[in-house]
A and B are shown apart, each in its own frame.
Chain A
């Protein structure tokens, strides 16, 4: 009998070929997916109840019987940050019913994350956002893949730092994921157009240093809309235009080389994403063909990165209507750090004074 599930590329299909020989009745209840672990709770003497974000099935709750036994197939498998390929019996129709884990294999292991506490904190932040967004039902493949990419990048950076090599700031990776997460939820901030009337905002480099921004309206505002919305009582922030341009550049930096260049570091491999480079160069310097992306002023680090983090945090909190716990810890850490010229993080936004 052939395999009941799992393609040739499936890790589970390779590691657990005998599952293909299971009875038809059981096989019809079997589901398989690639997952990230969101949370786990010990259950009974040796079992675990796990919450997962599955690539194609959204939020899944499973019981892993005997997961803590030394001879269990799941011993040590169900850990944070790793990409797993799991197979489980579907839950019944009752609300909150648990599926039952039947087999599992490790697809990608990210074991260096916990060795670098900055990367570890940001990786927890990625999972926390997934936990807030995950719903039972169809999954979000694009969001899952961006989460995996963020975890890969954080793990790569942690590995390099363990080897005493330079690596991109994990905050930069986390912020890129935050912006991608907002986009996946349909909440991406308007960065180059007025969120209210849709008119194009002034191009970067045209002289206006500050921009009106309203999270409730969905992003950047033109002068007229900012005045109108503020008169109706909407909170309008006054931001540096460069922050929004930096956010756009960060979103455009889809691959490692572009991200590292934005962090002001030499790329760790020769391959470069010319499209992202051109886009970032345009946004940061005001025109294509410019080599400004590699100029120190165009890089995202230090106080500039902290200010961007503060803005993205506040925008996320506004739309999620909660402050993710891992962000609270990050803010406390930032507040306690003695970085010179570090901007105030977590305070209320300044009142609007100008607009584009």
Chain B
């Protein structure tokens, strides 16, 4: 027997979400019908859809425009970190490792999935850099092929616009907390290519470097 029309609509609505097939959608729909908190979920969705706006500066979802991150005078406006998705901003903010500003591209370049340059917030990025005040653009797209292509696209857009700004890319290589024996060739290759020199401390003036001369006879 077919589901009643309102239930069928709910199943179809869940089925639109990424990674949710028909059966999972049915399970979720029945869970909603059983769970007394379902109305809260409906209110949360409605609230998010009506009250959130996209920040006109960085493209991140926000309760007001410009968003708190763009409006914060304590943040370093000379550094701009370009990321693919708002989730990346959240991850970086949770980690508290970056005090500059962000620019969200709203996707990664993959024409086979219908996302190409015109779908990304590239024009707004170029305009933002052109307005001045930014010294370094850090390309923080994902370290996969789509992310690398997106980083390349951003770089070419900046170069085509002849903007004099330093462009850097987040490092690739060994993940902290892992072990070399478990890492595959690609990670090890990147780590070797991206190796950095370690600083050798210069001996203080008037002292010789430790060596044979310091060894007691």
Q: How far is the CA of A147 from the CA of B114 in the complex (A)?
A: 22
- The interface residues of chain A lying within 8 Å CB-to-CB of B178 are 70-71, 75
Whether A105 contacts B184 by the Cβ 8 Å rule is yes
CB distance from B188 to the nearest CB of A (A): 10
A105 touches B112 (CB 8 A): no
A178 to chain B, nearest CB (A): 14
| Chain A: minimal CB distance from B66 (Å) | 30
Check: A88 CB closer than 8 A to any chain B CB: no
**A103 → B minimal CB distance (Å):** 10
CB–CB B152/A117 < 8 A: yes
Nearest CB of B to A163, in Å: 15
What 0/1 readout, one digit per residue, does chain A (103-147) give for beta carbons within 8 Å of chain B? 011100101011111001100110110000000000000000000
Chain A residue contacts of B182, Cβ below 8 A: 71, 73
Please give, as numbers and ranges, the residues of chain B lying within 8 Å of A79 by CB-CB distance.
Answer: 144-145, 186
Closest to A112 in B: B148
- Contact status A325-B152, CB under 8 Å: no
Pick the residue among A106, A124, A127 that contacts B185 (CB under 8 A).
A106
Nearest chain A CB to B45's CB is how many angstroms away? Answer: 21
- With A71-B179, A325-B112 given, is the CB distance from A76 to B152 under 8 Å? no
Query: Is there an interface contact between A76 and B187, defined as CB atoms closer than 8 Å?
Result: yes
> In the complex, are the beta carbons of B144 and A124 less than 8 A apart?
no
Stretch at the interface among A41-49, A199-207, A225-233: A41-49
CB distance from B149 to the nearest CB of A (A): 4
| Docked-complex contact A125 and B185, CB < 8 angstroms | no
What residues of B have a CB within 8 angstroms of the CB of A329 in the complex?
A: 111, 116
A265 contacts the other chain (CB 8 A): no
- Residues in chain A near residue B153, CB distance under 8 A: 117
CB of A229, distance to nearest CB on chain B (Å): 34
Selected contact of A109 from candidates B109, B147, B185, CB within 8 Å: B185
How far does the alpha carbon of A104 sit from the alpha carbon of B179 in the complex, in Å?
Answer: 16
In the complex, whether A81 has a CB less than 8 A from a CB of chain B is: yes
Instruction: State whether A76 touches B143 (Cβ < 8 A).
Output: yes
In the assembled complex, A82 has its CB within 8 A of some CB on chain B: yes
Which B residues are in CB contact (< 8 Å) with A117? 109, 149, 152-153, 156
Give how many B residues have a beta carbon under 8 Å from the other chain's beta carbons.
32
The reply to whether the CB of A324 lies closer than 8 angstroms to some CB of chain B is yes
Given contacts A76-B186, A76-B187, A109-B185, contact A325 B145 (CB under 8 A): no
Contact with A along B137-153 (1 / 0, CB 8 A): 00000011111110011
Residue of A nearest to B175 (CB): A70
Across the interface, name the chain A residue whose C-beta is closest to B114: A325
Identify 16 new A-B residue pairs, CB closer than 8 A, beyond the known A41-B19, A76-B186. Answer: A70-B177, A70-B178, A75-B183, A77-B184, A81-B145, A105-B185, A106-B185, A109-B189, A111-B148, A114-B152, A116-B152, A117-B152, A117-B153, A120-B152, A124-B110, A329-B111
Indicate if B2 sits at the interface (CB-CB under 8 A): no
Q: A114 contacts B145, CB within 8 Å?
A: yes
The answer to whether A114 touches B148, judged by C-beta atoms less than 8 angstroms apart, is yes
Contact across chains for B144 and A71 when beta carbons are under 8 A apart: no
Contact: A80 with B146, CB < 8 Å? yes
CB-CB < 8 A to A96: which residues of B? Answer: 21
- Minimum Cβ distance to chain A for residue B179 (Å): 7
Interface residues of B (CB under 8 A from A): 18-19, 21, 109-114, 116, 143-149, 152-153, 156, 175-179, 182-187, 189
A125 touches B145 (CB 8 A): no
Interchain nearest-CB distance for A175 vs B (Å): 17
A125 to B111, CA, bound (A): 9
With A115-B152, A124-B112 as known contacts, state yes or no: A73 contacts B146, CB within 8 Å: no
Contact B112 A128 (CB under 8 A): yes
CA distance A105 to B187 in the complex (A): 11
A326 contacts B by Cβ under 8 Å: yes
Picked from A42, A80, A115, A328, the residue with its CB within 8 Å of the CB of B144 is A80
- Please pick, from A75, A109, A121, the residue contacting B175 in the complex, using a CB distance under 8 A: A75
B185, closest chain A residue (CB) = A106
Q: Tell which of B112, B116, B186 touches A106, judged by Cβ atoms closer than 8 Å.
A: B186
Q: Once the chains are docked, how many angstroms separate the CA of A235 from the CA of B187?
A: 52
CA distance A4 to B152 in the complex (A): 43
Q: How does the 8 Å CB contact mask read for A61-93 relative to B, with 1 for contact and 0 for none?
A: 000000000110101110111100000000000
Q: Could you tell me which residues of chain A, from 312 to 340, have a CB within 8 Å of some CB in chain B?
A: 324-326, 328-330, 332
The chain A residue sitting closest to B187, CB to CB, is A76
**With contacts A71-B179, A120-B149 known, is A109 near B186, CB below 8 A?**
yes
A49 touches B19 (CB 8 A): yes
Q: Distance in Å from the Cβ of B193 to the closest Cβ of chain A?
A: 10
**When the two chains form their complex, are residues A82 and B186 in contact, meaning their CB atoms are under 8 A apart?**
yes
Can you show 5 pairs from A to B with CB atoms below 8 A apart? A70-B177, A71-B182, A80-B144, A111-B148, A115-B152
Distance (whole angstroms) from the CB of B160 to the closest CB of chain A:
12
